[in-house]
Amino acid sequence: MTEEFIKGMIQWFKAGKNLPRRYAWEIILGACSHFVKEESLVNLDLQEGVTCDVIGDVHGQFYDLLNLYSLTGIPSENHCLLMNGDLVDRGSWSIEVILTAFAFKWLYPTRMFINRGNHEAKDMNRTYGFEGEAKHKHGEQTYKLFAHVFTTLPLATLVSATKAPTKTSTTMILSPEGLKRYFVVHGGLFSKDGVTLDDVRKIPRIGRQPGQDGLMSDLLWTDPQTLPGRGPSKRGVGIAFGPDVTKRWCTLNGVTSIIRSHEVRQDGYAVEHDGLCTTVFSAPNYVDQVGNKGAFIRIDAEGDQKYFQFEATPHPPMKPMAYAQGGLASLMM
């Protein structure tokens, strides 16, 4: 794998062509060879001069992804990308999105990181388009390969600063070493108190689907709520967690704040729970209907964050959910 190959592959995709199946399989397996070596909680320590861009849901919006990569830059020695789940489904270029991301993972395994989202799962892919798209473009065996490799994706990433913050407050939560660190996860926190980072690290994930409950399901499915405590989820899976739940968990684990995705935000991002929970969403004008901006978050070696917004990019005339069963489905999931 080379940068030149990836650039050529992107041009091939923009011309409306499918990658030869053999190449697709090599990219999927090449990325998988690195995912299986990672723990369910990946540690990413940002050394001086290194930055990390956290990218939220992309949902098969390939042309928006290309615009996004032009803003973030591709992975490099001094720059990491962390894609926080839901790369596929809904948008009708999910194959192009996932093969591009997997190619970067294969080429730059210590600079490209991908968390699993609730849409990297069989039941969601069956309903929201990725299964149909994968079979249409590359055949059933390719879809089955993707379905397995999705289970190898890590469930969360702990992004840690390595330089002490220049500005602190009495309310800021720092790691035991006095540094900022961020828990990046697709969905959110847990249906019970007391879960530790080590508990997340030890979750057995390979070969497993998220299910309806348990730690993996919580990580991929839960959402923040404004009220304290825990409440029922509007999705019918997982729970909603309040600002008090977030503060207790961050304090217990020495986490400065949580960065999660999983929900549209009109400005592309929203800082919630008294600054302890930030939602970032990177699919602008979601499913060609919502009119939202996309965003990404840049973190540096001191743990400082900057927010970048971007608008939707024109794309060829293909509707969202083109390969889904039953056409355009609910936006809720």
Residue pair 72/53 in contact by the 8 Å Cβ criterion: yes
Measured from the Cβ of residue 220, the count of other Cβ atoms closer than 10 Å reads 28
- Return all residues near 315 (Cβ < 8 A) that are at least 6 apart: 61, 62, 63, 64, 93
Helical spans, DSSP H, in 15-139: 21-35, 62-72, 94-107, 122-128, 130-138
Cα-Cα-Cα-Cα torsion 110, 112, 115, 116, nearest 10 degrees, comes to -110
Per-residue tokens: 261: 């995705």
Q: Which of 34, 59, 79, 119 is catalytic?
A: 119
Distance in angstroms (rounded) separating the CA atoms of residues 292 and 284: 5
Residue pair 63/315 in contact by the 8 Å Cβ criterion: yes
186 is catalytic: no
Question: To which residue do tokens 């008294």 refer?
Answer: 274
Phi, psi (5° rounding) for residue 37? -85, -15
Cα-Cα-Cα-Cα torsion 73, 74, 76, 81, nearest 10 degrees, comes to 90
Please tell me what DSSP assigns to residue 205: -
Q: Which residues are catalytic?
A: 119
